[in-house]
Structure 1
Amino acid sequence: MTLAELNHLFDPEQFRVSGHALIDLLAEQLTNQLNGDASLVKWQSPLEAEQAWRQPMPESPEFSNEEFITWLKQEVLPRNLSMHHPHSMAHQAAPPLPIAALCDLVAALSNQAMAVYETGPAATLIERQVIRWLNTAVGWPQGAGVLTSGGSQANLTALLAARQHMGANIWNKGMAATPRLRILTSEFSHYSIRRAAGIMGLGVEAVIAVAVDEQGRMLPQALKQAHEACAQNQEQVMAVVATAGCTPTGSIDPLQEIGEYCRTHGLWLHIDAAHGASALLSEQHRAKLHGMEMADSVTWDGHKLLYMPATVSAVLFRDEAASYSAFAQDASYLFHEEEDSEARGFNTSYRTLECTKRMMGLKLLAAFKLYGRQGMASLVEHAFTSAGYFANLVARTSGFTLLMHPQTNIVCFRYHGNSTLTSSSAMLNELQANIRKKLLHQEMFHLSQVNIGDNIWLRCTFMNPYTQQAHQEQLLKAVACMGDDLSANRKRAFPPFFCN
């Protein structure tokens, strides 16, 4: 490669020009999405959409930098789901703060691998500061932890620490060193708990689902019964996993009661608060998480109610020593015998699955520095208030059934109208699924659905602060119109008229 060719690949001036053009393009997209002027999604079936992407690898350049920006504008961005659109209400994925996206650009170009302190000095110190802030919010001023690429990895890390905490040194000796291990968790817990059990070699059947009440919260009495049943079967409970903001309904388990039970019986308590932990920042909603400080470990996602770009999560530990127990490693090219215990704490690879780990903490630090705890709390409060308004709207609107009043920002509901379909559970379930699908395919609203008690419920997650009450009212009208039309279409032979 010649020097001229090398300079072309790393040209700072071309980076500047392309960067300005790209930021202008993204700012225009952001404006259009926030105003609701952009398309929510240009729907194509995946098989149909993939045909345009089946191309051979280019042997030589196809684009100039300017042509590449144009291609992004014409071919990539229009095919994305518009996360900042006020009609995007499906999942616990944030419309990210713009400054946080810029911080990801800084992280990408500086490329701090963060295996050990010397491969990412500033990144390491920033992460430690963010971890201290989050631990303090939980109630652990002396706590520890690391940032991870997602809540699933955070949950796995916490459960690995819980397993090693049992004292059998399973990391070195394997599963044969212990009796049959079990994890007790809510039947509404995230699938990552079962996935972690599979990864750890316990098997997904080691996860025992504990019953929930009508509000989706783990029943302490059912937890006690499950624990006693394990003892009778000579099975050892490795951990109890409570949930603060479960994925199906956003419900929060009774953390104080569960914490007291675990303390009494010497059980490791992990709280998967990936979604709900951000309520700790709010004076208005913090009490909902009373008892979280009794946990041994906590998962907290930044890419949910902290409005960060995906992915950034934290796994937090009340006891700093426990934060080192998930993993053990010997790699002389990274970890040096002469390191003292103080220096060891600055090498994140001791405590995380990842060796190469991106600079995740900068965007969180920037948000707190720019907007403060109160500013971040206001986003959480707005989301919870928005969900409360929508739930009340559903409850008082004829033809709709509300599953429960939201504890966070997730609302589940069903449409039945005046249809005779209400006499058939299967047909009513089919109606909900078809309503959701048609709303998405016709690029009107993006909702999700969840199966609870053999019934399909439409599910809204209110993340976007630009989703106003008028949008929620439009949603119910669209659901009713679509539902009535789909119901009527079962009785006629011509295509239905869909709502505008």
Structure 2
Amino acid sequence: MLSPLSVDSTTTAPRPRFLGSVPGPTPTGDVLLRGATAARYADLVHDVADDLAARIAAVEQPFSGASRPELQGLVDAVDLDGLPVGTADALRETSDLFAPHAVWFHHPAYAAHLNCPVALAAVGAEAMLAAINTSVDTYDQSTVATLMEQRLVEWAAGRVGFASGDGVFTSGGTQSNLQALHLARERALTDAHGARLRGHARQERLARLRVLTTASSHFSVARAALLLGLDDDAVVAVGVDTDGRMDPEALAASLVSTARAGDVVMAVVATAGTTDRGCVDPLEPVADLCDAAGAWLHVDAAYGGGLLVSSRRRHLLAGIERARSVTIDFHKTFFQPVSSSALLVRDRADLARTTWNADYLNPAQEAGVPNPDLNLVDKSLQTTRRFDALKLWATLRAVGAAGIGELVDAVCDLAAAVHADLAADEELRLLAPTDLSTVLFRFQPDGLDDARADALVPQVRRVLFDSGRALVAKTVLDGRPCLKLTLLNPDATPGDVRAVLELVRSAAHGLLAGQELLSQEVAR
């Protein structure tokens, strides 16, 4: 039995090896990467990679278990205004501080959030884009990088089913959802002739805009509504079925009631992979209703986007091609390093609503003057922007779309196996089905009342986190707290997950035993 007070929080890490390092401060001329320092750069990067590879190979648990005060002490001990130590020593010091206490998503006992182990090809591409430091906002800063991103956007749009679609890479699903709702807002704030409303007419319409979505949609939808200046009650919760998916009948009723109230449906947001349940809303009937109402349909597939390349589960996204816009996070189910996301649109003209011209960056095209440049800033909320598309490009060329799809199916199969294991468990109660790779459960054997089971949820999670031996998440389902496994490691096995569940079980028993002892002491 695992006692919450006796978990082993130690971990083993090799000493870093920086074979090419030279003691002492770095000369001023060696600070920047350039032709004269290219050889030095190669030595340093090789040394960092060797050190990190040794650490990765030696990882024994997903987190060291060091406490917040311990880590704060290590951070505070570094004098950022002190004398410089030179590049090699700075990298050694940084590695010693950061790497031993990082959270390792490749370890099979990491099962908390939507973090994935990353494709080797993508990590190699990350090194390329960091060293070259391309910004893909304008063509004259990026040249071939702009063309590669645009080609990849067209590939992804094609996978969705947008025959002539377009899109842009973003920092993540939050930004993608914000931009999608910005486009929907601007469309809603036009008159019958397509002209942009201004002044009082714009403010009057803005106050009546509504976004229809379920309570299970990502929090970024509600935050985007706030950032876009919508009213506090602009996000309307649509009812769901017993499995947490959007109920088309409830959506139909919401569309009718919104119109009767004199309000305007700015957008309907369906979710393809809810954060907690991993469920996919019924996209076909939702699209039918949106088409009938003339409503903008945005599909947030940040989590479920990997189904686009699945050979066995692509049907779960049937109807996604009828959306007006789609969010995909490649740094979730495409196994890319953060950050790598995209907003895709069915009609490329929609992205023009984002364009803002500046004479010094992307001046508007003058009549009669050819403009061959493709400036991606014209369709992005960001200006300076990393060439994150390079990572996915390299991964597709390395393992192919089908190879990524196999990894997606592997994590979904793993979740299905864990669900089957828990179906007959007398202590760990399975709470909800999933379409993807989440597991919602709680420790509640017969005789343990709801209040005590509720209290155990954060306690168990904290015991595991403090030990560093396993990381799980917690959430609330139907008003009750529960534990959550988010399985995004294709290398993890059912046995690995069973080991995590046994830690959960043991921690819960240990906590209950401790509470019983305390009660007995108080009674005496």
- Residue equivalent to 1:210: 238
CA distance change for structure 1 residues 316 and 344 in 2, over 3 Å: closer, same or farther? farther
Q: Which amino acid aligns with 2:470?
A: F
SS at match of 1:238: strand
* 2:117 paired with 1:95: yes
* 2:488 paired with 1:463: yes
| Correspondent of 1:27 among 53, 56, 67 | 53
- Residue equivalent to 2:131: 109
Q: CA deviation at 1:392?
A: 0.6
Summarize deviations over 1:233-274 as a string: whole Å, max 9, x none: 211110000000010110100000000110111000000000
Question: In the alignment, is the contact (CA less than 8 A) between 1:113 and 1:359 conserved in 2?
Answer: yes
Select between 383-392 and 395-404 the one with higher mean Cα deviation. Answer: 395-404
SS at match of 1:221: helix
| Correspondent of 1:450 among 462, 469, 475 | 475
SS at match of 2:237: strand
Question: In the alignment, is the contact (CA less than 8 A) between 2:357 and 2:363 conserved in 1?
Answer: no
Question: In the alignment, is the contact (CA less than 8 A) between 1:21 and 1:69 conserved in 2?
Answer: no
* 2:356 paired with 1:333: no
Q: Which amino acid aligns with 1:176?
A: Q
* 2:402 paired with 1:389: no
Q: Which amino acid aligns with 2:166?
A: A
Q: Which amino acid aligns with 1:332?
A: D
CA distance in structure 2 between the partners assigned to 1:232 and 1:214 by the alignment = 28
CA distance in structure 2 between the partners assigned to 1:171 and 1:465 by the alignment = 50
Q: How does 1:50-199 map to 2 (within 5 A)?
A: 50-54=72-76, 55-61=78-84, 63-166=85-188, 167-168=190-191, 173=199, 175-176=202-203, 178=205, 179-199=207-227
SS at match of 1:147: strand
CA distance in structure 1 between the partners assigned to 2:301 and 2:495 by the alignment = 31
Q: Which amino acid aligns with 1:479?
A: V
CA distance in structure 2 between the partners assigned to 1:65 and 1:333 by the alignment = 36
Q: CA deviation at 1:112?
A: 1.3
SS at match of 1:389: helix
| Correspondent of 1:363 among 367, 381, 391 | 391
CA distance change for structure 1 residues 353 and 8 in 2, over 3 Å: closer, same or farther? closer
Question: In the alignment, is the contact (CA less than 8 A) between 1:250 and 1:410 conserved in 2?
Answer: yes
Q: CA deviation at 1:56?
A: 4.1
The two structures have a TM-score, normalised by structure 1, of: 0.92
* 2:436 paired with 1:414: no
Q: CA deviation at 1:48?
A: 4.5
SS at match of 1:42: coil
Q: CA deviation at 1:494?
A: 9.8
Q: CA deviation at 1:230?
A: 1.3
CA distance in structure 1 between the partners assigned to 2:154 and 2:356 by the alignment = 25
Q: CA deviation at 1:99?
A: 2.1
Q: CA deviation at 1:396?
A: 1.9
CA distance in structure 1 between the partners assigned to 2:373 and 2:251 by the alignment = 36
Q: Which amino acid aligns with 2:321?
A: E
Q: How many residues align?
A: 484
Question: In the alignment, is the contact (CA less than 8 A) between 1:170 and 1:177 conserved in 2?
Answer: no
* 2:457 paired with 1:439: no
CA distance in structure 1 between the partners assigned to 2:31 and 2:349 by the alignment = 49
Summarize deviations over 1:40-75 as a string: whole Å, max 9, x none: 2123443552232224432431x2333234323422
* 2:329 paired with 1:301: yes
- Residue equivalent to 1:264: 292
Q: CA deviation at 1:473?
A: 1.6
Question: In the alignment, is the contact (CA less than 8 A) between 1:388 and 1:405 conserved in 2?
Answer: no
Q: CA deviation at 1:21?
A: 0.6
Q: Which amino acid aligns with 1:412?
A: L
Q: Which amino acid aligns with 2:247?
A: L
CA distance in structure 2 between the partners assigned to 1:415 and 1:457 by the alignment = 8
Give the gaps of 5 or more residues in structure 1.
496-500
SS at match of 1:114: coil
Summarize deviations over 1:289-331 as a string: whole Å, max 9, x none: 1110110000000100000011111100000101221x24131
* 2:505 paired with 1:477: no
CA distance in structure 2 between the partners assigned to 1:446 and 1:342 by the alignment = 56
Q: CA deviation at 1:226?
A: 1.5
Select between 391-400 and 66-75 the one with higher mean Cα deviation. Answer: 66-75
SS at match of 1:406: coil
CA distance in structure 2 between the partners assigned to 1:276 and 1:180 by the alignment = 31
The alignment's C-alpha RMSD in Å is 2.2
Q: How does 1:241-256 map to 2 (within 5 A)?
A: 241-256=269-284
- Residue equivalent to 2:248: 220
Q: Which amino acid aligns with 2:28?
A: E
Question: In the alignment, is the contact (CA less than 8 A) between 1:384 and 1:408 conserved in 2?
Answer: yes
Select between 173-182 and 448-457 the one with higher mean Cα deviation. Answer: 173-182
* 2:40 paired with 1:17: no
CA distance in structure 1 between the partners assigned to 2:45 and 2:493 by the alignment = 33
Question: In the alignment, is the contact (CA less than 8 A) between 2:255 and 2:293 conserved in 1?
Answer: no
CA distance in structure 1 between the partners assigned to 2:394 and 2:519 by the alignment = 56
Question: In the alignment, is the contact (CA less than 8 A) between 1:194 and 1:204 conserved in 2?
Answer: no
Summarize deviations over 1:393-428 as a string: whole Å, max 9, x none: 11122212112232111111111124x43x2x2321
The two structures have a TM-score, normalised by structure 2, of: 0.88
Q: How does 1:3-14 map to 2 (within 5 A)?
A: 5-10=28-33, 11-14=37-40
Question: In the alignment, is the contact (CA less than 8 A) between 1:164 and 1:171 conserved in 2?
Answer: no
Q: How does 1:304-315 map to 2 (within 5 A)?
A: 304-315=332-343
- Residue equivalent to 1:498: none
- Residue equivalent to 1:235: 263
* 2:65 paired with 1:43: yes
Q: CA deviation at 1:177?
A: 5.1
Q: CA deviation at 1:443?
A: 1.5
Q: Which amino acid aligns with 1:441?
A: D
What percent identity do the matched residue pairs reach? 30
Question: In the alignment, is the contact (CA less than 8 A) between 1:417 and 1:484 conserved in 2?
Answer: no
SS at match of 1:479: helix
CA distance in structure 2 between the partners assigned to 1:170 and 1:98 by the alignment = 47
CA distance in structure 2 between the partners assigned to 1:172 and 1:32 by the alignment = 61
Q: CA deviation at 1:209?
A: 1.1
Q: CA deviation at 1:170?
A: 5.9
Q: CA deviation at 1:388?
A: 0.4
Q: Which amino acid aligns with 1:22?
A: V
